[in-house]
Amino acid sequence: MTAPVVTIDGPSGSGKGTLCQMLAHQLGWHLLDSGALYRLTGMAADQRGIDLAEESAVAEIASSLDVAFIPGEPGEPTRVILDGADVSTELRSERSGGLASQVAVLPAVRKALLQRQRDFAQLPGLVADGRDMGTVVFPQAGLKVFLTASAEERAERRAKQLKAKGESVNLGALLGEIQARDERDSQREHAPLKPAGDAVQLDSTGLAIEEVFQRVLTLVSTRFAVIDQGD
Ligand code: DC
Protein backbone atom coordinates (compact mmCIF):
# COMPACT_ATOMS: atom_id res chain seq x y z
CA MET A 1 0.00 0.00 0.00
CA THR A 2 1.35 3.41 -0.90
CA ALA A 3 1.41 6.02 1.81
CA PRO A 4 -1.19 8.82 1.64
CA VAL A 5 0.38 12.23 1.07
CA VAL A 6 -0.89 15.72 1.89
CA THR A 7 1.10 18.53 0.28
CA ILE A 8 1.09 22.07 1.70
CA ASP A 9 2.76 24.60 -0.58
CA GLY A 10 2.97 28.35 -0.33
CA PRO A 11 5.28 31.31 0.28
CA SER A 12 7.32 31.73 3.46
CA GLY A 13 5.35 33.16 6.36
CA SER A 14 2.03 31.77 5.13
CA GLY A 15 1.89 29.55 8.23
CA LYS A 16 2.79 26.35 6.37
CA GLY A 17 5.47 25.22 8.80
CA THR A 18 3.28 25.45 11.91
CA LEU A 19 0.29 24.00 10.07
CA CYS A 20 2.31 21.02 8.82
CA GLN A 21 3.68 20.30 12.30
CA MET A 22 0.17 20.41 13.77
CA LEU A 23 -1.20 18.16 11.02
CA ALA A 24 1.60 15.61 11.24
CA HIS A 25 1.23 15.47 14.99
CA GLN A 26 -2.58 15.15 14.88
CA LEU A 27 -2.53 12.44 12.19
CA GLY A 28 0.57 10.64 13.49
CA TRP A 29 2.10 10.99 10.00
CA HIS A 30 5.66 11.76 8.91
CA LEU A 31 6.69 15.33 8.16
CA LEU A 32 8.87 16.56 5.30
CA ASP A 33 10.21 20.10 5.71
CA SER A 34 11.61 20.40 2.19
CA GLY A 35 12.75 23.99 2.76
CA ALA A 36 15.13 22.64 5.41
CA LEU A 37 16.89 20.55 2.73
CA TYR A 38 17.45 23.66 0.59
CA ARG A 39 18.58 25.62 3.65
CA LEU A 40 21.00 22.84 4.66
CA THR A 41 22.41 22.66 1.15
CA GLY A 42 22.99 26.42 1.13
CA MET A 43 24.55 26.36 4.60
CA ALA A 44 26.82 23.40 3.84
CA ALA A 45 28.01 24.98 0.58
CA ASP A 46 28.60 28.31 2.33
CA GLN A 47 30.53 26.63 5.18
CA ARG A 48 32.81 24.93 2.65
CA GLY A 49 33.41 28.18 0.82
CA ILE A 50 31.71 27.00 -2.38
CA ASP A 51 30.39 29.65 -4.74
CA LEU A 52 26.60 29.23 -4.77
CA ALA A 53 26.53 29.72 -8.52
CA GLU A 54 28.74 26.62 -9.03
CA GLU A 55 25.83 24.37 -9.91
CA SER A 56 27.56 20.97 -10.04
CA ALA A 57 29.54 21.57 -6.83
CA VAL A 58 26.40 22.64 -4.95
CA ALA A 59 24.43 19.69 -6.37
CA GLU A 60 27.17 17.36 -5.14
CA ILE A 61 26.69 18.80 -1.64
CA ALA A 62 22.90 18.36 -1.95
CA SER A 63 23.21 14.69 -2.87
CA SER A 64 25.67 13.88 -0.09
CA LEU A 65 24.12 15.89 2.79
CA ASP A 66 24.80 14.16 6.10
CA VAL A 67 21.68 15.21 7.96
CA ALA A 68 19.41 13.87 10.69
CA PHE A 69 15.99 15.23 11.72
CA ILE A 70 15.17 14.48 15.34
CA PRO A 71 11.49 15.12 16.05
CA GLY A 72 10.85 17.21 19.20
CA GLU A 73 8.10 16.70 21.74
CA PRO A 74 4.70 18.04 20.56
CA GLY A 75 4.99 21.82 20.34
CA GLU A 76 8.79 21.62 20.32
CA PRO A 77 10.73 22.20 17.09
CA THR A 78 12.50 19.35 15.30
CA ARG A 79 16.26 19.28 15.96
CA VAL A 80 18.41 19.23 12.85
CA ILE A 81 21.91 17.78 12.82
CA LEU A 82 24.25 18.58 9.90
CA ASP A 83 27.63 16.83 9.74
CA GLY A 84 27.20 15.91 13.41
CA ALA A 85 26.52 19.48 14.62
CA ASP A 86 23.18 20.82 15.86
CA VAL A 87 22.24 23.57 13.39
CA SER A 88 18.57 23.95 14.43
CA THR A 89 18.85 27.65 15.30
CA GLU A 90 21.02 28.69 12.36
CA LEU A 91 18.72 26.76 10.00
CA ARG A 92 15.79 29.07 10.74
CA SER A 93 17.77 32.33 10.33
CA GLU A 94 17.03 34.87 7.59
CA ARG A 95 20.54 34.24 6.31
CA SER A 96 20.01 30.54 5.69
CA GLY A 97 16.66 31.37 4.02
CA GLY A 98 18.55 33.62 1.62
CA LEU A 99 21.17 30.93 0.91
CA ALA A 100 18.38 28.39 0.32
CA SER A 101 16.60 30.64 -2.12
CA GLN A 102 19.84 31.00 -4.13
CA VAL A 103 20.58 27.27 -4.38
CA ALA A 104 16.90 26.48 -5.04
CA VAL A 105 17.13 28.08 -8.49
CA LEU A 106 19.66 25.46 -9.62
CA PRO A 107 18.02 22.54 -11.52
CA ALA A 108 20.81 20.09 -10.62
CA VAL A 109 20.25 20.83 -6.92
CA ARG A 110 16.49 20.29 -7.24
CA LYS A 111 17.16 17.03 -9.05
CA ALA A 112 19.64 15.88 -6.39
CA LEU A 113 17.05 16.47 -3.66
CA LEU A 114 14.09 14.87 -5.48
CA GLN A 115 14.47 11.22 -4.44
CA ARG A 116 15.52 12.17 -0.92
CA GLN A 117 12.20 14.02 -0.59
CA ARG A 118 10.15 11.17 -2.13
CA ASP A 119 11.71 8.73 0.34
CA PHE A 120 9.78 10.51 3.13
CA ALA A 121 6.48 9.08 1.80
CA GLN A 122 6.17 6.21 4.26
CA LEU A 123 3.18 4.67 6.02
CA PRO A 124 1.06 5.68 7.80
CA GLY A 125 1.30 8.90 5.74
CA LEU A 126 3.20 12.07 4.97
CA VAL A 127 2.60 15.79 5.36
CA ALA A 128 4.95 17.56 2.91
CA ASP A 129 5.77 21.25 3.37
CA GLY A 130 7.32 23.28 0.54
CA ARG A 131 6.93 25.17 -2.71
CA ASP A 132 6.69 22.38 -5.31
CA MET A 133 5.37 19.47 -3.26
CA GLY A 134 2.08 19.26 -5.18
CA THR A 135 3.46 20.24 -8.59
CA VAL A 136 6.74 18.29 -8.85
CA VAL A 137 7.65 16.08 -5.91
CA PHE A 138 4.28 14.44 -5.15
CA PRO A 139 2.06 15.07 -8.20
CA GLN A 140 -0.13 12.10 -7.17
CA ALA A 141 -0.79 13.40 -3.63
CA GLY A 142 -4.34 12.75 -2.38
CA LEU A 143 -4.72 16.28 -1.04
CA LYS A 144 -2.90 19.41 -2.15
CA VAL A 145 -3.26 22.70 -0.34
CA PHE A 146 -1.80 26.04 -1.48
CA LEU A 147 -1.59 28.35 1.51
CA THR A 148 -1.11 32.09 1.05
CA ALA A 149 -1.31 35.29 3.13
CA SER A 150 -0.65 38.92 2.20
CA ALA A 151 3.05 39.95 2.18
CA GLU A 152 2.26 42.56 4.88
CA GLU A 153 0.76 39.99 7.21
CA ARG A 154 3.63 37.58 6.59
CA ALA A 155 6.15 40.33 7.44
CA GLU A 156 4.25 41.08 10.65
CA ARG A 157 4.18 37.40 11.65
CA ARG A 158 7.92 37.13 11.03
CA ALA A 159 8.57 40.34 13.02
CA LYS A 160 6.66 38.87 15.95
CA GLN A 161 8.73 35.67 15.84
CA LEU A 162 12.00 37.63 15.73
CA LYS A 163 10.92 39.93 18.58
CA ALA A 164 10.01 36.88 20.67
CA LYS A 165 13.60 35.71 20.15
CA GLY A 166 14.86 39.10 21.35
CA GLU A 167 16.09 40.15 17.89
CA SER A 168 15.70 43.72 16.66
CA VAL A 169 13.25 44.14 13.81
CA ASN A 170 12.86 46.50 10.88
CA LEU A 171 9.40 45.81 9.48
CA GLY A 172 10.01 47.67 6.21
CA ALA A 173 13.22 45.72 5.56
CA LEU A 174 11.48 42.43 6.38
CA LEU A 175 8.66 43.21 3.98
CA GLY A 176 11.21 44.03 1.27
CA GLU A 177 13.04 40.72 1.86
CA ILE A 178 9.80 38.75 1.74
CA GLN A 179 8.74 40.40 -1.49
CA ALA A 180 12.17 39.82 -3.06
CA ARG A 181 12.11 36.14 -2.06
CA ASP A 182 8.52 35.71 -3.37
CA GLU A 183 9.61 37.22 -6.65
CA ARG A 184 12.65 34.93 -6.93
CA ASP A 185 10.70 31.82 -5.92
CA SER A 186 7.75 32.43 -8.23
CA GLN A 187 9.67 33.70 -11.26
CA ARG A 188 12.39 31.04 -11.38
CA GLU A 189 12.41 28.79 -14.39
CA HIS A 190 12.49 25.45 -12.57
CA ALA A 191 9.70 24.39 -10.20
CA PRO A 192 8.47 27.92 -9.49
CA LEU A 193 6.16 28.61 -6.57
CA LYS A 194 2.68 28.15 -8.01
CA PRO A 195 -0.43 26.21 -7.04
CA ALA A 196 -0.96 22.78 -8.61
CA GLY A 197 -4.00 22.75 -10.91
CA ASP A 198 -5.82 20.49 -8.45
CA ALA A 199 -4.75 22.31 -5.25
CA VAL A 200 -7.21 23.76 -2.75
CA GLN A 201 -6.22 27.41 -2.29
CA LEU A 202 -6.49 28.85 1.20
CA ASP A 203 -5.75 32.48 2.15
CA SER A 204 -4.74 32.65 5.81
CA THR A 205 -4.72 36.48 6.01
CA GLY A 206 -6.68 37.40 9.14
CA LEU A 207 -7.11 33.75 10.19
CA ALA A 208 -5.68 32.27 13.37
CA ILE A 209 -3.51 29.19 12.77
CA GLU A 210 -6.04 27.08 14.69
CA GLU A 211 -8.75 28.03 12.16
CA VAL A 212 -6.50 27.13 9.23
CA PHE A 213 -5.64 23.83 10.94
CA GLN A 214 -9.33 22.94 11.45
CA ARG A 215 -10.16 23.71 7.81
CA VAL A 216 -7.33 21.56 6.49
CA LEU A 217 -8.13 18.77 8.93
CA THR A 218 -11.69 18.71 7.56
CA LEU A 219 -10.28 18.43 4.03
CA VAL A 220 -7.97 15.60 5.12
CA SER A 221 -10.76 13.62 6.75
CA THR A 222 -12.97 14.05 3.65
CA ARG A 223 -10.27 13.07 1.15
CA PHE A 224 -8.85 10.21 3.16
CA ALA A 225 -12.14 8.88 4.55
CA VAL A 226 -11.44 5.44 3.07
CA ILE A 227 -8.14 5.24 4.89
CA ASP A 228 -9.70 6.42 8.16
CA GLN A 229 -12.15 3.52 7.94
CA GLY A 230 -9.21 1.15 7.74
CA ASP A 231 -9.88 -0.18 4.22
O1 DC B 1 10.20 27.14 3.42
P2 DC B 1 11.58 27.76 3.66
O3 DC B 1 11.52 29.22 4.03
O4 DC B 1 12.38 26.97 4.63
O5 DC B 1 12.33 27.68 2.24
C6 DC B 1 13.62 28.21 2.05
C7 DC B 1 13.87 28.46 0.57
O8 DC B 1 13.95 27.19 -0.11
C9 DC B 1 12.80 29.27 -0.14
O10 DC B 1 13.31 30.52 -0.53
C11 DC B 1 12.45 28.50 -1.38
C12 DC B 1 13.24 27.24 -1.32
N13 DC B 1 12.39 26.05 -1.42
C14 DC B 1 12.14 25.55 -2.68
O15 DC B 1 12.59 26.10 -3.67
N16 DC B 1 11.41 24.40 -2.82
C17 DC B 1 10.88 23.81 -1.75
N18 DC B 1 10.15 22.70 -1.91
C19 DC B 1 11.09 24.33 -0.45
C20 DC B 1 11.85 25.47 -0.33
Q: What is the DSSP string of 121-170?
A: --TT-EEEEESSIIIII-TT-SEEEEEE--HHHHHHHHHHHHHHTT----
- Per-10-residue mean pLDDT, the chain, length 231: 94 90 93 96 96 96 93 78 94 90 94 96 96 96 96 92 87 91 83 90 95 96 66 43
Determine the Cα–Cα distance for residues 47 and 81; give it in Å rounded to an integer. 15
Q: Domain-by-domain residue ranges, the chain?
A: 5-220
Residues in the chain: 231
Among 90, 101, 103, name the best residue to mutate to test ligand 1's pocket (greatest count of ligand atoms within 8 A of Cβ): 101
Residue 75 is predicted with a pLDDT of 67
Determine the Cα–Cα distance for residues 182 and 118; give it in Å rounded to an integer. 25
Among 78, 126, 131, 193, name the best residue to mutate to test ligand 1's pocket (greatest count of ligand atoms within 8 A of Cβ): 131
Determine if ligand 1 sits within 6 Å of the CB of residue 96.
no
Residue 74 is predicted with a pLDDT of 65
Determine if ligand 1 sits within 6 Å of the CB of residue 177.
no
Eight-class DSSP state of 171: H
If you take atom 20 of ligand 1, which residue's CA is the nearest one? 35
The model's pTM: 0.90
Q: What is the CA radius of gyration of the chain?
A: 17
Of residues 46, 148, 39, the one with CA closest to residue 98:
39
Residue 225 is predicted with a pLDDT of 67
Determine the Cα–Cα distance for residues 96 and 99; give it in Å rounded to an integer. 5
List the beta bridge partners of residue 130: 9
Q: Which CATH class is domain 5-220?
A: alpha beta
Query: Given the CA of residue 181, which atom of ligand 1 is nearest to it?
Result: 10
If you take atom 15 of ligand 1, which residue's CA is the nearest one? 104
If you take atom 19 of ligand 1, which residue's CA is the nearest one? 35
Query: Given the CA of residue 39, which atom of ligand 1 is nearest to it?
Result: 6
